[in-house]
Amino acid sequence: MPLFSRRQWLAGAIAAPALLSIGAKAGSAAAEGPFTLGVASGDPEPDGVVLWTRLAPRPLEGDGGMQPHDVPVRWEVAEDERFARIVRFGNAPAEARWGHSVHVEVSGLAPARSYFYRFIANGIASPVGRTRTAPAPGAPVDRLRICYGSCQKYEVGYYAAWRHAVEDDPDLILFVGDYIYEGAPSPGDVRMHLNPEPFDIAGYRVRYATYKLDALLQAAHATAPWAVTWDDHEVANDYANDLDEHNGERAPFLLRRAAAYQAYWEHMPLRRRAMPHGAAMRLYRTLDWGSLAQFQIVDDRQYRSGHPCQPADLLPAHKKYLPLVADCAERHDPGRTILGSTQEAWLHQALGGSRAQWNLLTQQTLMTSYAQPDTDHPEKGADLYSVDSWGGYPAARERILRRWRDAATPNPLVLSGDIHSFAAADMADPDEAKRIVASEFVGGSITSLYHDATFKQNMMQNPGFHFAENEARGYGRMDLTQRRCEVAFRGLSNARDPDSAISTIAAFTVEAGRPGMSLA
């Protein structure tokens, strides 16, 4: 048994910033030596987790300040945070070709319990992280607490949301995209990107380092395992497969995508099976939490069809695509895909095979059908559709809704990000509009802003929407038991203040076996 409960350890961590610089003000962590970017763990299984770090004594340089050869790093996993009872240890290479990142797949641990871990390189110990293994396959689980976030643009806010997520003491943290933003530095916000817009591996590494130097973000990684997926800004705004938003040449964009995917791998606690091969990286996977939950974590960027309903001259002229379009036949083409045929077949198989009580489609963009009036041309009386989200791929969305229904997937839910807003909606059966199949919870943005003041009223005019809020930043918190799912939207009072207070701005419950949410 551990000496400390998880909550006692958490309290100690806050009181002892040397252990885990969580008590620090916002800004750069003051780490010396090679562990400037902190530690992380991820993708828990019943017998182990991935442990991550990256050696970068000068993190704002493209090579991290490291020589171009591999370095052995010792890792240790213990039952106690003072490492008196080490249960697993070993050496792993920090490989120069992967930016001296370290990904250790620890096995042989006991299910459903907390562990502590650290790395040692050249006699210097890293900060200590805490992680947790998943319950044994099919094991009964009383409760699971998840915090999930997205869209943490560095320049427009501090990471107070992560401070509060740490205090919520989640078992698991999910990140559903826009971990970094790729844009050039823009003056006038609370802080600035430290390098120009990245296009190569050195540039993306510096961009990740900029974000990962933040003490509050490091603390969130050190408090619980993460399971991550990406959205567009880990590469470039609104990209679709091999096309950037300007419909540029595909070959140079794929080189950029390869650099961005490599940097993503180098900075995330992912298993080796996710390691990229050129511009390809298999990110989609399931994560099981005993009999209670299965997460189907998907990637709706890498394999998607291009944006539909575009004027014919945009693509050949390499002009920027139109994100909001009037409806057209192409949008409904059943041949269009947002997941790609291989991933979609894999997902449908997972949805048919899962016996978990809750099934959480963990993904990046708004899934519920959404349209807004064309305010520039009110005389047309037509709606506009946002084609960068599932709105560009309605047939693919309907295939999943029917799959949930036909396979009787237990209690499907959707976790989303991307729109820099909180939103909650019930999704109907495409063949029977009164029958609810799943509920979607968009968990706000950690910092990123939403600029359209008409968003809230537009969204609430769409069928199924119960809540929308685009003024508050924050994250989503979900508590699952066998009988109930409780969701709290946690909204900061001011994301420009690293010490901002937070409150629950809306809360929802879904009862197992009864599709559809109610406001708590």
Contact segment (CB under 5 A) with Fe ion among 84-92, 144-152, 320-328, 335-343 equals 144-152
215 Cβ neighbours under 8 A, 6+ residues apart: 21, 22, 24, 25, 26, 27, 28, 29
Contact 399, 414 (CB under 8 A): no
Contact segment (CB under 5 A) with Fe ion among 25-33, 67-75, 278-286, 445-453 equals 445-453
Helix 160-167 × helix 215-223 angle, to 10°: 20
Minimum separation from the CB atom of position 457 to Fe ion (A): 22
Minimum separation from the CB atom of position 418 to Fe ion (A): 6
Binding string, 255-294, against Fe ion, x = CB under 5 A?
Answer: ----------------------------------------
Minimum separation from the CB atom of position 453 to Fe ion (A): 18
Minimum separation from the CB atom of position 178 to Fe ion (A): 4
Minimum CB distance to Fe ion smaller for 95 or for 189 = 189
Q: CA-based diameter of the chain, in Å? A: 73
Of 218, 221, 256, 217, which is closest to residue 239 (Cα–Cα)?
Answer: 256
Minimum separation from the CB atom of position 208 to Fe ion (A): 16
Instruction: Report the distance separating Cα 386 and Cα 323, nearest Å.
Output: 6
Both tokens assigned to 302? 């890498």
Minimum CB distance to Fe ion smaller for 181 or for 346 = 181
Contact 445, 390 (CB under 8 A): no
Residue 494 φ then ψ, to 5°: -160, 105
Contact segment (CB under 5 A) with Fe ion among 176-184, 336-344, 355-363, 421-429 equals 176-184
Minimum CB distance to Fe ion smaller for 400 or for 419 = 419
Compute how many residues bind Fe ion; rule: CB under 5 A. 3
Minimum CB distance to Fe ion smaller for 66 or for 446 = 446
Instruction: Report the distance separating Cα 214 and Cα 161, nearest Å.
Output: 13
Minimum CB distance to Fe ion smaller for 183 or for 185 = 183
Residue 12: its H or E element? helix 6-15
Task: Work out which of 29, 56, 73, 151 binds Fe ion, going by CB under 5 A.
Answer: 151
Helix segments in 189-323, DSSP class H: 201-212, 215-223, 250-267, 314-317
Length of the chain: 520
176 in contact with Fe ion (CB under 5 A): no
Minimum CB distance to Fe ion smaller for 145 or for 191 = 191
Helix 215-223 × helix 201-212 angle, to 10°: 80
Minimum CB distance to Fe ion smaller for 79 or for 178 = 178
238 in contact with Fe ion (CB under 5 A): no
Minimum separation from the CB atom of position 183 to Fe ion (A): 11
Minimum separation from the CB atom of position 306 to Fe ion (A): 20
Contact segment (CB under 5 A) with Fe ion among 151-159, 344-352, 425-433, 499-507 equals 151-159
349 Cβ neighbours under 8 A, 6+ residues apart: none
78 in contact with Fe ion (CB under 5 A): no
Q: What is the DSSP string of 185-218?
A: P-TTSSS--SSSPP-SHHHHHHHHHHHHTBHHHH
Residue 514 φ then ψ, to 5°: -130, 90
Minimum separation from the CB atom of position 389 to Fe ion (A): 11
Contact 421, 150 (CB under 8 A): no
Contact segment (CB under 5 A) with Fe ion among 178-186, 384-392, 462-470, 486-494 equals 178-186
Contact segment (CB under 5 A) with Fe ion among 19-27, 75-83, 171-179, 362-370 equals 171-179
Contact 65, 249 (CB under 8 A): no
178 in contact with Fe ion (CB under 5 A): yes
142 Cβ neighbours under 8 A, 6+ residues apart: 481, 482
Minimum CB distance to Fe ion smaller for 354 or for 416 = 416
Instruction: Report the distance separating Cα 322 and Cα 334, nearest Å.
Output: 21
The dihedral region occupied by 434, where left means phi > 0, alpha psi between -120 and 50, and beta the remainder, is: alpha
Minimum separation from the CB atom of position 301 to Fe ion (A): 12
CA 337 to chain CA mean position, Å: 21
Contact segment (CB under 5 A) with Fe ion among 154-162, 194-202, 286-294, 444-452 equals 444-452
Minimum separation from the CB atom of position 451 to Fe ion (A): 12
Instruction: Report the distance separating Cα 289 and Cα 104, nearest Å.
Output: 21
Minimum CB distance to Fe ion smaller for 409 or for 448 = 448
Minimum separation from the CB atom of position 416 to Fe ion (A): 11
448 in contact with Fe ion (CB under 5 A): yes
Contact segment (CB under 5 A) with Fe ion among 105-113, 207-215, 344-352, 441-449 equals 441-449
Q: Which residues form the interface with Fe ion (CB under 5 A)?
A: 151, 178, 448
